[in-house]
Amino acid sequence: MKNTRWVYTPKKINVKRGVAYGLTDLMGGGWNNIVSGVIFAYLTLSVGLNPAMAGAITGIARIFDAIFSLVFGTVTDGFYKTRLGKKYGRRHFWMLVGLIGFAVSFLAFWVPATAIFGPGHDFFYYLVVYTLTEIFVGMILIPWETLPTEMTSDYTKRTILSGSRMFISATGTSLVFFILAILQSLPSAQAKKNAYLFAGILWTILFVAAIFISYRMTWERPLTQKFLNELNSRPKLTVGQYIKKTLHDYGQTFTNSAFRKHLAIYIFSFTGKDFYATLLPTFIIVCIGMASNIPWVLNAFAVFGILSTLLAAKLMITHGPRFLYSVSYIGIIIALIAYGLTYFLHIKNPMTILIIITIVYQLSRGILEFVPWNVFPFIPDVDYIMTRDDKAGTYAAVMTFFRKSTGALATWLAGILLSELGYVSTATTQAAGVTDRIAWLFMIAPMVLIFIALAVSWGFKLNRKTHDVLQKETKRLENGGSKKDVTPEAKVVAEELTGHPYEKLWPKETYEELETEHSKK
């Protein structure tokens, strides 16, 4: 089958092409920080929603999105069978649909609900629009993340495509807060009142332009007859069989000891980060009593996360993930304590101190975000000696599902706790003791979560050395080596990483083979 459309026309992959591909993560990084750091503040401080209701909006929407993300990848995988998929690309078609939907819903989110429906409809308006935005973002990011695999099979070229994401994502994070900080700093009262709307317009233009460039400068694997035969030869499962296999694969990931620890570290640390981002504007504006633009000025120091990421890339090789986890989490705990002391010691004119504390936090946050997804590629290798199956996609889906779910619950819970502590978003002055309680919540909640991640990381054994030992043992078994000839070191490493006796590793038959035999009977 010959298709000469641009979406099926490969081009030379170089740094310029890598940047073009990575531009979508300008929205990816920016959007994640808008969700965790801006939306709650906008709904409480600007719209005036009760904090519990504001948290419920992001919580409910992200749970819907988490479920949507679990099935949408499969939708794009099979979309090549449709006329639209063949003509516009099974991945690019959905990127374009998501882009159009995102441009409308994201912009609509910053338009006051009262301007459209009048008073009394705020909660349902923002819930519906925000949920739609999350779904459209998923439509863009899920197919976009498959494009390096579609565009080339060369490891180095894929690295060029994926490598730009890290820095573009961090740039998106800084731009989001920088734009809002400038708009909140304008002297005009009218400009300050509409700062979120103007920021929303600028963010929409910026993100849509970036995504469109990625959309037009990337391509998919041509639908040759050979490739179509390969796609069509894959096992065809009924809905029941697909659900059964998916649930089995998801459940089996939790029998992997290294993954259980990795997931716990990832979830607790990122959820702690979510609590920080959600509560920081309230802490700075309500507790410290600073201007409304200051939280966004401080968050713009996220650019320092790029510097720590560059350093972490080297330390990952020389010192391993456990060292980096300790450096990151201890740095964040120190920053949180320093924020609390700034409030409780009633330091006057604390801006300089807050900047220093924030730089420490952002340097630590950069490492926090860098390490888990750099450890992740080694996790499926642990599973492989357990199951002899390739389930990298399954592990990624489980991580994404739990990340989105816990991130949603963090914002929701933060809103409920603020409400229970007596915080009233529409009040110019809070009741006695409320600011103290908010300050304790801001300091303790993320600190507890980060400390749990730190404690779990102390027992994390997967690193470059243990991975090399595991890989050598796997290769030996693949080449027909006997399990009886395992070395003491390989046996200990395999058992520590998997959490299973060596005798139960490297099964004679995979789950898929057993299912095939069962279906024949």
User: Which tens digit of pLDDT belongs to each residue from 375-389?
Assistant: 877 888 899 899 887
Q: How confident is the model at residue 199 (pLDDT cuts 50, 70, 90)?
A: very high
pLDDT digits (tens, 9 = 90+) for 141-163: 888 887 887 888 775 777 677 66
Q: Name the 3-class secondary structure at 255.
A: coil
pLDDT at 1: 45
pLDDT category of residue 396 using cuts at 50, 70 and 90: confident
Per DSSP, the residues of 323-392 read: HHHHHHHHHHHHHHHHHHHHHHTT-SSTHHHHHHHHHHHHHHHHHHHHHHHHHGGGHHHHHHHHHS---H
Domains within the chain, CATH numbers bracketed:
1-234 (1.20.1250.20), 239-521 (1.20.1250.20)
Run of H or E including 94: helix 92-109
Q: What is the average pLDDT value for the chain, to the nearest integer?
A: 86
Taking the CB of residue 405, how many other CB atoms lie within 10 A of it? 18
Positive or negative, the CA dihedral 40, 42, 44, 45 is: positive
pLDDT by residue (tens digit) across 461-472?
998 899 899 999
Amino acid of residue 199: A
Cα(204)–Cα(468) distance, integer angstroms: 45
pLDDT band of residue 372 (cuts 50, 70, 90) is confident
Q: Position of tokens 């740094």?
A: 15
**Is the pLDDT at 351 greater than 90, yes or no?**
yes
3-state secondary structure 283-328: HHHHHCCCCCCHHHHHHHHHHHHHHHHHHHHHHHHHCCHHHHHHHH
Mean pLDDT lowest for which of 161-170, 171-180, 216-225, 368-377?
A: 161-170
pLDDT value at residue 379: 85
Whether the per-residue pLDDT at 234 is higher than 70: the answer is no
Averaged pLDDT, 487-516: 82
Q: How far apart are the first and last CA of the chain?
A: 37
Angle at alpha carbon of residue 355, lines to 336 and 322, rounded to 5°: 45
Per-residue model confidence as pLDDT tens digits over 249-287: 788 889 999 999 999 999 999 999 999 999 999 999 999
